[in-house]
Amino acid sequence: MGLEFLSLGLPSIIAIAVIVGGIVISYYKKILMTYVLIVTNFIVFIISLIFQDEIIFGFLNNEWVYSGLGFRPIYLTPDFIPQIYTLFTSMFVHSDFLHIIGNMLIFYFIGFQFEQRVGWKNFIIIYLLAGICGSLTHSFLVISTYSNQIELLTPLVGASGAIFGIMGAFAFAYPQDRIVMPIPVGFFMIIRQIKVIFAVLIFAGLETVIVLIGAQDNTAHFAHLGGLIGGVVLSALIIKRKFKKDRMERSPEIITPIQFDLKPKSVDFSSLESLAKTPELRQMLDRIKQETVPQVRDIWIEHFLEKARCPTCQSHLNNFDGKIWCDKCGFKSRY
């Protein structure tokens, strides 16, 4: 075993800075974490494409980001513990265009709505921990069924485990929510509005069948299932517990998730109209008014409020569960 696994080259340092920087920016700028994760994944992918050549900008490049930031099962052994950070970085690295586009497409449809439900803190905790659960599940199985050194050294990359974790958490906490989702039908994908529990059962069923038939497609399917199960467990520990606590602290009239889904809330467009001060915002508001799918409408509202500014002090606005407020001047409203 060589020491080449312990080196951290310039490409990896740049990619790590992008990953950490994106999360920090999301926190301070109040940008949806889903947006930031999608953009960050694509930026890291572009970096991995740029740094494939041996000479970059006149400097010798001896590392490929895919190799440097991917997590390998052998990193769980004592000799390579310093590389354990790749459990985190591997979630932001993808092998090719199809890999990243497939992952980010599914994440786009499911991530926004779930983050709006649970808030960015719970969202990022579940995303990262579920991704780690997926990598560990795959790695422990490789180690326990060890047959050759290649399996121990093959990098595990991609956000699939984390995304399956979000799906599992969403389905467990809000099974009756309806989402717009690409559903695999044979060799094709069709876009359908479907209850999140059914979407997750379809994907989980496909992964289970693939595992049972032993398909060799260079995909870590056990990482998907590990992330899914991790998301369900995390949802039970974080979301359900928080919901029960909030229900005890609030009035008895609080609605349940199922009641919420059966009767989508109406929107007071007049409060949003008062914030539509630019042509772009007015155009977005027209799009919101015309949208008939509640989940898609909520995503547009979230995007609208990210662009809007406080009418009193022109600062960024916060919003959650129909409430709008400004931390700087105390402005409050509802929609």
**Helices 97-118, 294-307: crossing angle, 10 deg rounding:** 90
Q: Is the pLDDT of residue 151 over 70?
A: yes
DSSP bridge partners of 181: 192
DSSP string, 138-159: HHHHHHHT---HHHHHS-B--S
CA 247/CA 221 separation, integer angstroms: 37
Would you give the DSSP letter of residue 218?
Answer: S
State the fold for domain 3-242: Rhomboid-like fold (1.20.1540)
**Helices 120-144, 221-234: crossing angle, 10 deg rounding:** 140
94-98, 185-189, 235-239, 248-252: least confidently modelled range: 248-252
Q: What is the pLDDT of residues 11-37, one digit of tens each?
A: 788 889 999 999 999 888 878 899 999
Q: What pLDDT sits at residue 148?
A: 66
Q: Is the pLDDT of residue 186 over 70?
A: no
Domain ranges of the chain: 3-242, 266-334
CA 258/CA 124 separation, integer angstroms: 24
Q: Which amino acid is at 32?
A: L
Strand boundaries in 70-215, DSSP class E:
178-185, 188-195
Q: What pLDDT sits at residue 277?
A: 87
CA 319/CA 120 separation, integer angstroms: 12
Q: What is the pLDDT of residues 9-18, one digit of tens each?
A: 777 888 899 9
Return the higher-pLDDT residue of 185 and 261.
185
Q: Is the pLDDT of residue 62 over 50?
A: no
Entry pTM: 0.69
Residue percentage of the chain with pLDDT more than 70: 81
Would you give the DSSP letter of residue 217?
Answer: S
How many beta carbons lie within 10 A of that of residue 179, not counting itself?
24
Q: What is the pLDDT of residues 252-300, one digit of tens each?
A: 443 333 333 434 567 878 888 888 888 888 888 888 888 777 767 777 8
Q: What is the pLDDT of residues 99-132, one digit of tens each?
A: 899 899 989 989 988 998 888 899 999 999 999 9
